């Protein structure tokens, strides 16, 4: 069984390693959506894999770092592509959420990535 909890946050960033003149090299922002996926067995006593409120509480410190901030200033996000962001969130959450199975990032309505800890 797999569950997920979604969050949205607003952040600014620029991609420092794109070719000169690339639009993503300029400072810009996104309304990011992140989904935290957990896989596991349903607990017989609670009826769930993990309480959604626990996922929210565990993600809160990361949310506060990301929301309305400049991603490039966050250690580990100096080149904040969606792929790098997904991997960074995974590395921060996996020790706290052993059931973590995927991080899904949408940087726009039509573009994003999924990281499964590969």
Q: Report the pLDDT value the prediction gives residue 73, as an integer from 0 to 100.
A: 98
pTM confidence score:
0.96
pLDDT at 117: 97
The enclosing H or E element of 52 equals helix 52-66
pLDDT at 99: 98
Q: In what order do the strands lie in the sheet with 2-13?
A: 69-70, 2-13, 28-39, 100-106, 112-115
Annotated binding residues for Zn(2+) = 13, 28, 30
Q: Do residues 76 and 90 lie in contact, with contact meaning Cβ atoms separated by under 8 Å?
A: no
| Residue-level pLDDT at 83 | 98
Q: Which domains does the chain have, with CATH numbers?
A: 2-115 (3.30.479.10)
Residues annotated catalytic, as ranges:
24, 68, 107
**CB-based burial, 3-17: b 16+ in 10 Å, e otherwise:** bbbebebebebbbee
Rounded mean pLDDT for each run of 10 residues along the chain, 118 residues in total: 99 97 96 99 98 99 99 98 99 98 98 97
Which residues make Cβ contacts (< 8 Å) with residue 116, sequence separation at least 6? 101, 102
């Amino acid at each position: 069984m797999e569950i997920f909890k979604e969050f949205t946050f607003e952040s600014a960033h620029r991609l420092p390693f794109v070719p000169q003149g690339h639009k993503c090299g300029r400072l810009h922002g996104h309304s990011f959506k992140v989904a935290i996926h957990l896989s596991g067995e349903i607990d017989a006593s609670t009826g769930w894999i993990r309480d959604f409120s626990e996922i929210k509480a565990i993600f809160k410190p990361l949310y506060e770092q990301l929301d309305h901030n400049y991603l490039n200033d966050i250690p580990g996000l100096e080149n904040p592509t969606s792929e790098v962001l997904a991997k960074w969130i995974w590395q921060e959450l996996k020790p706290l959420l052993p059931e973590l199975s995927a991080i899904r990032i949408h940087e726009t309505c039509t573009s994003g990535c999924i990281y499964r800890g590969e």
